[in-house]
């Protein structure tokens, strides 16, 4: 581990199959202790406030799906790039449904089979991650292809 990464045992930190560390969190919860992110992706129905670090907003209403799945894919690829050199996080209001769905899609991009990604994120991040049936279907239909 370098000083640029998350602490592996820190709240919300998930180790992807490649070993990259990503933090998931809920924005309604207090900011976890330790270092601030160097890059964040905020999965919200409305644009996020300024956080003081580089960030992206993915238009994604609560309990629903992202408005632009192609943009989500591009942003998740950015997360993988930023996680190699810094501290990347994914967050939504509660930190379960949208964050869990995005973490499951990120895990697929990192090598987890789509049919196993929901179970994977529930085991490694939170047992109630990916909340709705349509979020589960979205993850199962996600692939690591650009199409």
| 3 band by pLDDT with thresholds 50, 70 and 90 | low
DSSP characters over 80-125: HHHHHHS-EEEEESSSSHHHHHHHHHHHHHTT--GGGHHHHHHHHT
Q: From the centroid of its chain, how far is CA 33? A: 19
- Short-list 13, 27, 22, CA closest to 92: 27
For residue 15, pLDDT over 50 is answered with: yes
- pTM for the predicted model, two decimal places: 0.94
Tokens of 55: 């960030």
Q: Domain ranges for the chain, please list them.
A: 13-141
Order of strands across the sheet with 21-26? 13-15, 21-26, 88-92, 39-44, 54-59
Phi and psi dihedrals of 23, rounded to 5? -105, 135
- Mean pLDDT of the residues in the chain: 93
**CATH number of the structural domain 13-141:** 3.90.190.10
The confidence score (pLDDT) of residue 145 equals 64
The confidence score (pLDDT) of residue 147 equals 42
């Amino acid at each position: 581990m370098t000083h640029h990464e998350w602490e592996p045992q820190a709240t919300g930190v998930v180790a992807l199959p490649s070993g990259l560390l990503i933090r998931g969190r809920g924005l309604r919860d207090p900011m976890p202790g330790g270092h601030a992110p160097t890059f964040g992706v905020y999965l919200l129905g409305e644009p996020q406030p300024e956080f003081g670090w580089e960030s992206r907003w993915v238009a994604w209403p609560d309990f629903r799906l992202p408005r632009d799945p192609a943009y989500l894919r591009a942003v998740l690829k950015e997360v993988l790039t930023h996680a190699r050199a810094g501290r990347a996080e994914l967050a939504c209001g509660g930190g379960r449904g949208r964050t869990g769905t995005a973490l499951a899609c990120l895990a697929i991009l990192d090598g987890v089979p789509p049919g196993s990604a929901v179970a994977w994120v529930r085991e490694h991040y939170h047992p109630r991650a990916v909340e709705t049936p349509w979020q589960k279907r979205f993850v199962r239909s996600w692939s690591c292809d650009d199409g």
